[in-house]
């Protein structure tokens, strides 16, 4: 019996040696017979925007819309429409020569940039979600409660028949938009968005930015430089998602924009 036991122990020993024992390497990691595939390298990079002129007292104090004309009451001593933001040259991205302005967004349509507080603008009859915010000259939104107005409006004959605050969480797309020309505008393209009624951003809610089919998760509300975009048409889709990455069932979600990068023949 002792001989059989000894033979049994020796058999276990040789079997263990041949199979690699407990499959633990010298660094303590457990070996895996299946090769681990590396995640594909990302084509595009998102880098947080550099800090911007803050304008803490900038405010939209009221807005009216009648006979196809908007009239915004813009308040604050530091912020002025139609002037250049002082740090525009340092941003290394597209900048408006006309200066600071209002971004007006109706539903999921591209924004209209308006450089004066009163302007003509047509809106189809019906119910719409409206967001307007004060923008720096390089199109970055001022992200304060006072510097924006968000309403659900009922329009009839180019006038507000009714307007009210809305409770639904809505993600509004701002930039990129349009055509970017030349190295200074195309190497770094600003991505900016505006969430309304989105509690717990970064924990309960995030934004999935799909750039030419490549997904990037955003958990901080701030603008970003997008680098690595090719010349020609590019497409970005922004989706408001929950903590598990599932699309939130809410109006205007997701929203997609196509914009164009082109070389400057003079460069």
Query: How confident is the model over 249-264, as pLDDT tens digits?
Result: 999 999 999 999 999 9
Cross-strand bridge partners of residue 85: none
Q: Is the pLDDT of residue 248 over 60?
A: yes
Q: Specify whether the backbone of 91 is left (phi greater than 0), alpha (psi in -120 to 50) or beta.
A: alpha
In-domain check, residue 181: yes
Alpha carbons 99 and 74: distance in angstroms, whole number: 15
Region 73-89: mean pLDDT is 96
Q: Is residue 31 part of a domain?
A: no
Q: Which residues pair with 179 in a beta bridge?
A: 260
Note whether residue 219 is domain-resident. Answer: yes
Provide the residue count of the chain. Answer: 267
**3-state class of 92 per DSSP?**
coil
The reply to whether 28 falls in a domain is no
Kind and range of the H or E run holding 18: helix 2-19
Q: Give me the percent of the chain exceeding a pLDDT of 70.
A: 85
Under DSSP, is residue 260 helix (H, G, I), strand (E, B) or coil? strand
Please tell me the distance from the alpha carbon of residue 186 to that of residue 182, in angstroms, as a whole number: 6
Overall average pLDDT of the 12-36 stretch: 39
Residue whose entry in the numeric block shows the structure tokens 């889709």:
237
Report residue 40's pLDDT band, with 50, 70 and 90 as the boundaries. Answer: confident
| Residues 102-155: tens digit of each pLDDT | 999 999 999 999 999 999 999 999 999 999 999 999 999 999 999 999 999 999
C-alpha distances out from residue 16 to 19, 20, 21, 22, 30, Å: 5, 6, 5, 8, 15
| Number of folded domains that form the chain | 1
pLDDT at residue 36 in the model:
54
| 194 lies in some domain | yes
User: CA 95, CA 140: separation in Å to the nearest integer?
Assistant: 10
Q: Does 22 fall in a domain?
A: no
d(C-alpha 94, C-alpha 259), whole Å? 13
Domain encompassing residue 142: 46-262
Count of helices and strands (H, E) across the chain:
2, 17
Q: Give the Å distances, CA to CA, from 259 to 52, 80, 114, 126, 186.
A: 24, 28, 20, 28, 11
pLDDT at 226: 98
Res. 25: pLDDT tops 80: no
Sheet with strand 224-227: strands edge to edge: 45-48, 224-227, 189-196, 170-175
Residue 236 predicted with pLDDT over 90 = yes
Residue 17 lies in a domain: no
Q: Do 191 and 141 meet the contact criterion of CB atoms below 8 Å apart?
A: no
User: How sure is the predictor about 214, in pLDDT bands with cuts at 50, 70 and 90?
Assistant: very high
pLDDT band, residue 18 (cuts 50/70/90):
very low
Lowest-confidence segment of 29-38, 226-235, 251-260 by average pLDDT: 29-38
Residue 37 belongs to a domain: no
What is the domain-level CATH number for residue 77? 2.60.40.10
Which tokens hold the place of 183? 């190295």
Start-to-end C-alpha separation, the chain: 91
Which of 18-27, 38-47, 249-258 is the least confident region? 18-27
């Amino acid at each position: 019996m002792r001989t059989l036991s000894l033979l049994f122990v020796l058999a276990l020993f040789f079997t263990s040696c041949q199979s690699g024992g407990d499959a633990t390497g010298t660094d303590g990691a457990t070996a895996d017979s299946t090769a681990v595939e590396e995640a594909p390298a990302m084509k595009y990079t998102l880098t947080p925007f550099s800090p911007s002129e803050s304008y803490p007292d900038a405010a939209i104090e009221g807005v009216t819309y009648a006979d196809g004309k908007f009239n915004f009451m813009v308040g604050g001593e530091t912020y002025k429409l139609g002037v250049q933001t002082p740090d525009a040259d340092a941003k290394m991205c597209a900048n408006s020569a006309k200066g600071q302005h209002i971004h007006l967004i109706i539903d999921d349509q591209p924004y209209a940039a308006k450089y004066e507080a009163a302007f003509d603008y047509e809106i189809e009859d019906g119910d719409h979600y409206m967001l307007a915010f004060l923008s720096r000259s390089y199109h970055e939104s001022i992200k304060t409660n006072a510097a924006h107005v968000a309403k659900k409006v009922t329009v009839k004959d180019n006038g507000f028949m009714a307007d009210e605050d809305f409770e639904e969480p809505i993600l509004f797309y701002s930039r990129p938009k349009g055509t970017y020309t030349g190295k200074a505008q195309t190497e770094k393209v600003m991505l900016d968005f505006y969430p309304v009624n989105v509690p717990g951003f970064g924990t309960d809610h995030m934004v999935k930015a799909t750039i030419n089919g490549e997904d990037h998760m955003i958990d901080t509300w701030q603008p970003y430089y997008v680098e690595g975009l090719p010349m020609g048409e590019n497409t970005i889709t922004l989706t408001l998602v929950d903590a598990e990455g599932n699309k939130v069932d809410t109006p205007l979600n997701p929203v997609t924009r196509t914009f164009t990068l082109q070389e400057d023949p003079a460069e």
